């Protein structure tokens, strides 16, 4: 059984997917982390986000792997655990920029499909229900207003002690939404058969309860 959760940055996908997976004993796959790992490789090599040719060459020359250690997803770049380096704003921007390229998406597709073929997974991303797992039994499209998403991200950054303003974050979210939704290959959009949930005025528990109910109904 595969569950696909798609939606824009900050809609709560990863928190909700992780929690739901834990509750029902499925494996959580964070596909954003997979793209982020490749983006980190590009940053480390000093490649510009506009240089598609060099980015394609990075794709061919690095090894991106995913492992589970103590139930947590660990991203390996050429064998090195890079979990601590892939959550910066610099990596977020680079990831959104390079994920428009065909070679980047092709490089990472098998990794995602192979995990889903062998396990019960809840996989979150942008194109899971539409492209990676078009036959997923359950598809969820999570949204929230830009204001809500910016506020959530602002609070996360505050907790980490990172200086920023809500206005900067809103602008960043709008730019990422635009890029993710308007790219040519596998853009972010709701699959026709996905259930849309607007999480703006919902708690994490309310959203996970709603998704668990949908999964249980599908299983029965
Ligand atoms: O979910 P996230 O914020 O970690 O994703 C970072 C970027 O990766 C996002 O802006 C778009 C890209 N991405 C993608 O193109 N396809 C996916 N399945 C997951 C992420």
Q: What gap in Å lies between CA 33 and CA 18, rounded to an integer?
A: 13
b/e string for 26-42 if b means 16 or more Cβ within 10 A?
bbbbbbbbbbbbbbbbb
- In short, whether 127's Cβ falls inside 6 Å of ligand 1 is yes
160 band by pLDDT with thresholds 50, 70 and 90 = confident
Q: Which atom of ligand 1 is nearest to the CA of 14?
A: 1
Residue whose CA is at the smallest distance from ligand 1 atom 14: 126
154 band by pLDDT with thresholds 50, 70 and 90 = very high
Q: Which atom of ligand 1 is nearest to the CA of 92?
A: 6
pTM of the model: 0.92
Q: pLDDT, tens digit, for every residue of 79-96?
A: 999 999 999 889 999 999
């Amino acid at each position: 059984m595969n569950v696909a959760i798609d939606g824009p940055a900050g809609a709560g996908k990863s928190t909700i997917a992780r929690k739901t997976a834990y509750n029902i004993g499925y494996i959580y796959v964070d596909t954003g982390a997979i793209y982020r790992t490749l983006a980190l490789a590009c940053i480390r090599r000093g490649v510009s986000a506009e240089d598609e040719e060099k980015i394609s060459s990075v794709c061919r020359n690095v090894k991106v792997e995913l492992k589970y250690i103590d139930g947590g997803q660990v991203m390996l770049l050429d064998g090195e655990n890079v979990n601590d380096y892939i959550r910066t704003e610099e990596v977020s921007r680079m990831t959104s920029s390079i994920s428009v390229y065909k070679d980047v998406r092709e490089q990472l597709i098998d990794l995602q499909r192979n995990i889903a073929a062998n396990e019960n997974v809840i996989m979150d991303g942008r194109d899971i229900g539409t492209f990676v797992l078009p036959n997923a039994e359950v598809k969820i499209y999570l949204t929230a207003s830009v204001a809500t998403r910016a506020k959530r991200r602002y609070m996360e950054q505050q907790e980490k002690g990172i200086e920023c303003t809500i206005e900067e974050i809103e602008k960043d979210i709008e730019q990422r939404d635009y890029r993710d939704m308007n790219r040519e290959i596998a853009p972010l959009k709701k699959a026709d058969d996905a259930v849309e949930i607007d999480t703006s005025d919902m708690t994490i528990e309310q959203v996970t309860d709603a998704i668990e109910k949908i999964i249980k109904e599908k299983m029965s």
